[in-house]
Structure 1
Amino acid sequence: MQVDETATGDVIKRLRRAEGQIRGVIGMLEEGRDCAEVVMQLAAVSRALDRAGFKIIASGLQQCLTADEGEDQSVNLERMEKLFLSLA
């Protein structure tokens, strides 16, 4: 199953934002910033990555729901469930 093209752009934006946040966290650590500030930024990065993953999974679920009748939808849904649980 491929990532839906309409979701790809949004996911890439989220990942680039997370990439910038990670660079910021590294800079904060190098500067010796307060650990509470660093942890807050790490939490923001984690949420951004989770959202990107959930967007991909949501796209996959949409594809499963609109799959051809000849395809084994139960196998696709099981795969999506495993992916979803890996992010939970």
Structure 2
Amino acid sequence: LLFLNKLDLFREKILYSGRHLRHYLPDYSSSDYDVDNGALFIQRKFEQANENPNKVIYTHFTTATDTSNVRVVFQSVMDIIVRENLKRATFL
């Protein structure tokens, strides 16, 4: 599980601080102000670093102060954990 938390702060920095991803990740080529593509780019970087093709990376973009978002993510994580355990126990 990959939690990319503080999406709200990421958005603020990308849009208003001049701290664009291309300054830190030279292979980033989307718009300096495209928050969604920037977040997906970071997600893909983590996925590319995964050396085990049998491991699936479940990514969640979160804002911990958004309780409704945290609730949905928590439920999703619980579902993933239960499914993986059922697969291992050969129930699925």
The TM-score bracket by the shorter chain reads 0.3 to 0.5
TM-score normalized with structure 2 length: 0.35
Larger radius of gyration, structure 1 or 2? 1
Name the structure with the higher helix share: 1
If each structure's strand is expressed as a fraction of its own residues, which one has the higher value? 2
Give TM-score scaled by structure 1 length: 0.37
